[in-house]
Structure 1
Amino acid sequence: MLTLHGACIALCETGILIRGPSGAGKSSLALLLAAAADGAFVADDRVVCTVREGRLVACPHPSLAGRVEIRGQGILPVAELGIPFRPEVVLDLAVDLVETAPRLPEPPEAAALLGLTLPRLVLDRGVRAAGLAPLLIRAALRKHRP
């Protein structure tokens, strides 16, 4: 078992782990994605990862299940925001939020967690500020879907 600082959501049956430094916008991006018609919120702040049947499974820390921290608003139940909650999801993609990235980067290395790897997407602040993160995440999911 591994507890990570991050956020996690599900799009249909696909789990997405969002990592990054404090203030990078992990919770905001998670809420934006989870609010989509095919989305659900899994975890915020502390994501608990385990291996089950050779797959990475993510769930919220029990003390934070179904809740999200929104800067300036406090810790709120996701149900109050009209967003469905899901207690766990199999992870299929890791998204790392960074300050800057090269203009024309090489494909990122896979994310390694608990001896397993996940496809990885790196999004810098400029891409996120332009509102392109959801499009790029969905494109990465299509690319890496078996």
Structure 2
Amino acid sequence: MTVLANVTAVAIDGRALLIEGPPGSGKSSLALALIDRGAVLIGDDAAHLAHDGAALIASPPPNTCGLIEIRNVGIVELPVSSAPLALVLTLDPEAPRFPLDPAMRTIAGVDIPSLPFAPGDAVQALRAEYALAHHGLPFPNSGATQ
């Protein structure tokens, strides 16, 4: 079991997207935009990771399960889910416009694709969905990215 702090995670079509960046960089805002598009919250400000065979399952952290901070609103409770971790997006205003290949990052012994990701524009949720579809790990025991 590993708990990652200062990250936000959502489930999109059964795969987990982990969003990391410094405080105030827009992790929760991106997660909220993705939730508005149909994603389900896994954890805001932390994610619990556990091995399930070759997959790393992201689950809500017990101490803040279902809670997300919405800037200028407060703490809101939302439904939660768990899913296999498929991609890490690192919020970075200097992210390259055209990533050639995602880097692989080892988290709890599992290699996960990782992309620098420009925060804050109006279509970031849509871009995040495309990043997961194009660069994320496939579903466990599957040969193709969904």
Fold equivalence (TM over 0.5): yes
Percentage of matched positions with identical amino acids? 32
More helix by share: 1
Provide the rounded CA distance (Å) in 2 between the counterparts of 1:92 and 1:102. Answer: 21
Change (3 A) 1:121 1:17: same
Q: Please state how far the C-alpha of 1:140 moved relative to its aligned partner.
A: 2.2
2:101 alignment partner, SS class = coil
Q: Matched residue pairs, number? A: 136
From 119, 138, 144, the equivalent of 2:129 is 138
Q: Name the counterpart of 2:67.
A: 67
TM-score (normalised: structure 1): 0.82
2:102 alignment partner, SS class = coil
TM-score (normalised: structure 2): 0.82
Change (3 A) 1:135 1:28: same
Runs ≥4 residues deviating over 6 A: none
Q: Kindly indicate whether residue 80 of structure 2 is the aligned counterpart of residue 85 of structure 1.
A: yes
1:107 alignment partner, SS class = coil
Q: Kindly indicate whether residue 104 of structure 2 is the aligned counterpart of residue 110 of structure 1.
A: yes
Contact kept in structure 2, 1:6 and 1:47, CA below 8 Å: yes
- What letter matches 1:93 in structure 2? L
Contact kept in structure 1, 2:17 and 2:132, CA below 8 Å: no
Q: Name the counterpart of 2:2.
A: 2
1:90 alignment partner, SS class = strand
Provide the rounded CA distance (Å) in 2 between the counterparts of 1:66 and 1:142. Answer: 25
The superposition leaves residues 27-84 of structure 1 with CA deviations (integer Å, 9 ceiling, x where unpaired) of 11111112223x2111101111111111011112111111101223222112xxxxx4
Provide the rounded CA distance (Å) in 2 between the counterparts of 1:9 and 1:104. Answer: 24
Contact kept in structure 2, 1:121 and 1:137, CA below 8 Å: no
Q: Please state how far the C-alpha of 1:90 moved relative to its aligned partner.
A: 1.0
Q: Kindly indicate whether residue 121 of structure 2 is the aligned counterpart of residue 121 of structure 1.
A: no
Q: Kindly indicate whether residue 26 of structure 2 is the aligned counterpart of residue 21 of structure 1.
A: no
- What letter matches 1:139 in structure 2? Y
